[in-house]
Structure 1
Amino acid sequence: MQYERDALIAGLIALAGLLKANPKLPIPVAPVVAHAFPDRGPDDEMRAEVDKVADLLGTEIDPAHTPYGHYQTAIEFGPVRYEFTAILAAARAHHDAVNSYRDSVQIDNA
């Protein structure tokens, strides 16, 4: 886990250095979002993990995502955003149900 963390941080720093050193390079479309998720588990355990991260960041839970079954906190650094999101059981079930029809519809490209 520490190796992955160190590698991610090194990669982000290298990208920032590359963009700073080469002002003619196009930049990613803002916002740039780094997504992180708790391990899948019972909703109350995942919410508790998000609450812990919110405490570490000094942020609140974002109520805009709650109706969609996402329990999320985030912090922004200009156009860069770090999000820690628990996708709750009902939202995962809904997503799975919608995706169960994915291969049932065939488009006639003739």
Structure 2
Amino acid sequence: MSTDTDRRTAFITGLRDLAAFLEANPELPAPKASTLVTYFPDHATDAEMCAEIDRIAALCGTGIDADFLPYGHYVTTLSFGPVRYEATAILADARARHDALMSYHGCVTPDTNQTTAA
């Protein structure tokens, strides 16, 4: 049975192994875009998930990113050059909006008959 400590250790080992592999193989390209590592707390009440993100923000010495609040995402980030650690709680209203949108999935089929304008 895997524990949180086992998963954490495996994740850190994987990151180190990737960095060592890239360093040992300079002919391999590195990503052009930034790399995001995201932690999502377990689903709970909005208050409990926000408290978890607040706890992580305090450990990181970061604040809550207000840009994401209108979308129902409670986020803190810490950047290491082009690599960013992010902890995100997706709040109940945002999950409900997403579920409503996805309820239409497969119900609408685009017209695939294309005509060329003359």
Report the TM range for the smaller structure's normalisation. over 0.9
Listed as ranges, the gaps of 5+ residues in structure 2 are 114-118
Structure with the larger helix share: 1
Percent identical pairs in the alignment equals 53
Whether 1:43 aligns to 2:59 is no
Instruction: Find the partner of 1:101 among 101, 104, 107.
Output: 104
Structure 1 position 26, deviation (Å): 1.4
Contact 1:72 1:85 in 2 (8 A): yes
Q: After the TM superposition, which parts of structure 1 deviate over 3 Å for at least 4 consecutive aligned residues?
A: 107-110
Structure 1 unmatched runs, 5+: none
Give distance in 2, aligned partners of 1:108 and 1:13.
48
Whether the 8 Å contact between 1:30 and 1:80 is mirrored in structure 2 is: no
CA distance in 1, matches of 2:29, 2:11: 21
Instruction: Give the TM-score normalised by the residue count of structure 1.
Output: 0.95
Query: Which residue does 2:79 correspond to in 1?
Result: 76
TM-score, length basis structure 2: 0.89
The offset of 1:108, in angstroms, is: 4.4
Larger radius of gyration: 2
1:55-103 Cα distance to aligned partner (Å, 9 max, x none) = 0000000001000000000100000000000000000000000011011
Task: Please give the alpha-carbon distance, in whole angstroms, between the structure 2 residues aligned to 1:94 and 1:29.
Answer: 32
Q: CA RMSD in A?
A: 1.0
Mapping for residues 46-61 of structure 1, pairs under 5 Å: 46-61=49-64
